[in-house]
Structure 1
Amino acid sequence: GLLLLTACKGDTGEQGPQGPPGEPGEPGQPPGTGLEPEPFGLVGRVMEPSLAPVPSGSVYLVPATDVEELAATPIDLFLSPEATAILEIDEPIEDLLDANADDYAQAAVDADGVYRFETLPEGRHFVVWMPSFDDDQRLPGGDSSRTAFESDSLIGMQMDIRVSSRPSASATYVGSSTCMVCHGLHSTTRTAHNVGLQVPGVRSILQDVEPWPDFDEGLAAFDAGTTLYFYDCDSAAPDPAKCAVDVAAPAVAVAFTLDLRRDPGLPLGAIGAYYVEMVDGTTERYDVVLTYGGALGKQQYLTRRSNPDGSFSYFVLPLQYNYQGDFTNAWRDYRSDLWYDFDANALQQPGDVESFDNNCAGCHFTGYQLDGSDAQGWSAAATVAADGAFDYDGDGKPELINTGCEACHGPGSEHLEQRPQGSNIVSPGLLTPGRQAAICGSCHSRPIGIGGGTRGLPLSADNEMPRVGIRRAEFAQNHTSRVSGAPEDFFASGDVKAHYQQYSDHLRSKHYRNGTRLTTCTGCHDPHANPDDVAAMDSSGNPNALCTTCHSPEANPELYPLPEHVADVTGVNGHASLEDFFGPFICTDCHMVPTAKSGASVPALLDSLGGPPSVQYFWNDIAGHRMTVTRWEGGQPDQPIAFTNECGQCHAELLPNTPTP
Structure 2
Amino acid sequence: MRRYVWVFLLTVAVALPALAGERLVRSHLPQGGQSAVAASIQSLGATLTKLYGAEATTGKVYVGSEFCIACHQEYASWRNTKHNQALKKPMPEFSMVKGKGMVNDCDGNGSDDFAQGLDFNTINSVFDAYKPNAPKLSLENGTYFITIGDLKMPVAFIQGGTGDWKQRWGVRIPVTDTPTGLSADIYMSPIQYNEKTKSYVLYNASNWYDSNNQPIWKAGMTSSQITQHKGSYSKNCIGCHATGIRELKQNAAGEWVFKGYVAVLEQEPSTFDYDGDGNNDLVNIGCEACHGPGSAHILAGGDPSKIVNPETLTTQEANEICGQCHIRVASVPNGTHEWPYRDDIGKSWIPGSGERLEDYYHDHGGYWPDGTTSKAHHQQFEDFYRSSKPTFQFHPVRCTECHDPHGTSKHQIRTEIRDGNLVIPTANDNNTLCLACHATHGPFASITKEEVAAYGENKTKIGEVVAAHTHHPYGPERSMGLSRCSKCHMATMASSAVAYDIHSHTFEVTPPEKTLKYQDQGGMPNACAVSCHATKVNSFGLGYDPSISTWNADFDKKLATELMKYLGPTGFWWQVSLTPQNAPDNPNYQPPAEND
Classify the TM-score, shorter chain. 0.5 to 0.7
Q: Residue type matched to 1:463 in 2?
A: G
Q: 1:625 is matched with which residue?
A: 505
**Kept in 1: contact 2:68–2:287 (CA 8 A):** yes
Q: 1:80 is matched with which residue?
A: none
Which among 475, 482, 489 is matched to residue 591 of structure 1? 489
Residues 203, 514 of structure 1: CA spacing in aligned structure 2 closer, same or farther, 3 A cutoff? farther
Q: CA deviation at 1:417?
A: 1.8
Give 1 or 2: higher helix fraction: 2
Q: CA deviation at 1:246?
A: 4.2
Q: Distance in 2 between matches of 1:556 and 1:564?
A: 8
Q: CA deviation at 1:440?
A: 1.3
Q: Residue type matched to 1:172 in 2?
A: V
Q: Distance in 1 between matches of 2:475 and 2:60?
A: 57
**Kept in 2: contact 1:303–1:314 (CA 8 A):** yes
Q: CA deviation at 1:420?
A: 6.3
Which among 391, 401, 420 is matched to residue 513 of structure 1? 391
Residues 303, 576 of structure 1: CA spacing in aligned structure 2 closer, same or farther, 3 A cutoff? closer
Q: Distance in 1 between matches of 2:345 and 2:299?
A: 28
Q: 1:191 is matched with which residue?
A: 81
Q: Residue type matched to 2:239 in 1?
A: G
Deviates more, 1:415-424 or 1:377-386: 415-424
**CA deviation profile, 1:598-620 (whole Å, cap 9, x unmatched):** 1112xxxxxxxxxxxxxxxxxx1
1:341 aligns with 2:210: yes
Which among 299, 308, 312 is matched to residue 417 of structure 1? 299
Q: 1:600 is matched with which residue?
A: 498
**CA deviation profile, 1:578-613 (whole Å, cap 9, x unmatched):** 789987621111111111111112xxxxxxxxxxxx
Counterpart of 1:646 in 2: which secondary structure?
helix
Q: What is the TM-score normalised by the length of structure 1?
A: 0.59
1:653 aligns with 2:525: no
Residues 565, 493 of structure 1: CA spacing in aligned structure 2 closer, same or farther, 3 A cutoff? farther
Q: CA deviation at 1:444?
A: 1.6
Q: 1:291 is matched with which residue?
A: 158
Q: 1:300 is matched with which residue?
A: 168
Q: Residue type matched to 1:220 in 2?
A: D
Q: CA deviation at 1:220?
A: 0.5
Q: Distance in 1 between matches of 2:481 and 2:248?
A: 55
Q: 1:262 is matched with which residue?
A: 139
1:275 aligns with 2:162: no
**CA deviation profile, 1:540-560 (whole Å, cap 9, x unmatched):** 788112111111238996466
Q: How do 1:485-500 and structure 2 match up within 5 A?
A: 485-486=364-365, 488-492=366-370, 494-500=372-378
Q: Residue type matched to 2:201 in 1?
A: R
**Kept in 2: contact 1:353–1:378 (CA 8 A):** no
Q: How do 1:159-308 and structure 2 match up within 5 A?
A: 170-184=59-73, 186-201=76-91, 215=103, 217=105, 220-228=112-120, 246-247=124-125, 254=131, 256-263=133-140, 266-267=141-142, 273-279=143-149, 283-295=150-162, 296-305=164-173
Q: 2:264 is matched with which residue?
A: 386
| Larger RCO of the pair (alpha carbons < 8 Å, separation 6+) | 1
Which among 346, 368, 373 is matched to residue 250 of structure 2? 373
Q: 2:236 is matched with which residue?
A: 359
Q: CA deviation at 1:501?
A: 0.4
Residues 258, 322 of structure 1: CA spacing in aligned structure 2 closer, same or farther, 3 A cutoff? same
Q: Distance in 2 between matches of 1:549 and 1:536?
A: 11
**Kept in 2: contact 1:173–1:412 (CA 8 A):** yes
Q: Distance in 1 between matches of 2:333 and 2:432?
A: 43
Residues 451, 200 of structure 1: CA spacing in aligned structure 2 closer, same or farther, 3 A cutoff? farther
Q: Distance in 2 between matches of 1:248 and 1:332?
A: 6
**Kept in 2: contact 1:358–1:457 (CA 8 A):** no
Counterpart of 1:313 in 2: which secondary structure?
coil
Q: 2:438 is matched with which residue?
A: 551
Q: CA deviation at 1:565?
A: 4.6
Counterpart of 1:186 in 2: which secondary structure?
helix
Counterpart of 1:407 in 2: which secondary structure?
helix
Q: Residue type matched to 1:357 in 2?
A: S
Q: Distance in 2 between matches of 1:577 and 1:345?
A: 55
Counterpart of 1:223 in 2: which secondary structure?
coil
**CA deviation profile, 1:381-423 (whole Å, cap 9, x unmatched):** 2221233411111111111111111111001111112256422
1:639 aligns with 2:525: yes
Residues 599, 392 of structure 1: CA spacing in aligned structure 2 closer, same or farther, 3 A cutoff? same
Q: 1:151 is matched with which residue?
A: none
Q: Distance in 2 between matches of 1:653 and 1:385?
A: 59
Q: Distance in 1 between matches of 2:130 and 2:243?
A: 45
**Kept in 2: contact 1:563–1:579 (CA 8 A):** no
Residues 197, 315 of structure 1: CA spacing in aligned structure 2 closer, same or farther, 3 A cutoff? same
**Kept in 2: contact 1:366–1:400 (CA 8 A):** yes
Q: Distance in 2 between matches of 1:627 and 1:303?
A: 39
**Kept in 2: contact 1:175–1:406 (CA 8 A):** yes
Q: Distance in 2 between matches of 1:350 and 1:222?
A: 27
Question: RMSD of the TM alignment (CA)?
Answer: 3.9
Q: CA deviation at 1:427?
A: 0.7
Residues 568, 401 of structure 1: CA spacing in aligned structure 2 closer, same or farther, 3 A cutoff? closer
Whose radius of gyration is greater, 1 or 2? 1
Give 1 or 2: higher strand fraction: 1
Q: Distance in 1 between matches of 2:206 and 2:481?
A: 47
Q: Distance in 1 between matches of 2:305 and 2:171?
A: 41
Q: Distance in 2 between matches of 1:427 and 1:599?
A: 34
**Kept in 2: contact 1:352–1:376 (CA 8 A):** no
Gaps of 5+ in 2: 4-55, 218-225, 417-423, 448-461, 544-553, 563-596
Residues 195, 253 of structure 1: CA spacing in aligned structure 2 closer, same or farther, 3 A cutoff? closer
Q: Distance in 1 between matches of 2:463 and 2:291?
A: 38
**Kept in 1: contact 2:403–2:414 (CA 8 A):** no
Residues 376, 202 of structure 1: CA spacing in aligned structure 2 closer, same or farther, 3 A cutoff? same
1:433 aligns with 2:311: no
**Kept in 1: contact 2:185–2:234 (CA 8 A):** yes
Q: 1:445 is matched with which residue?
A: 327
Q: Residue type matched to 2:145 in 1?
A: Y
Residues 428, 216 of structure 1: CA spacing in aligned structure 2 closer, same or farther, 3 A cutoff? farther
Q: 1:398 is matched with which residue?
A: 280
Q: CA deviation at 1:168?
A: 8.9
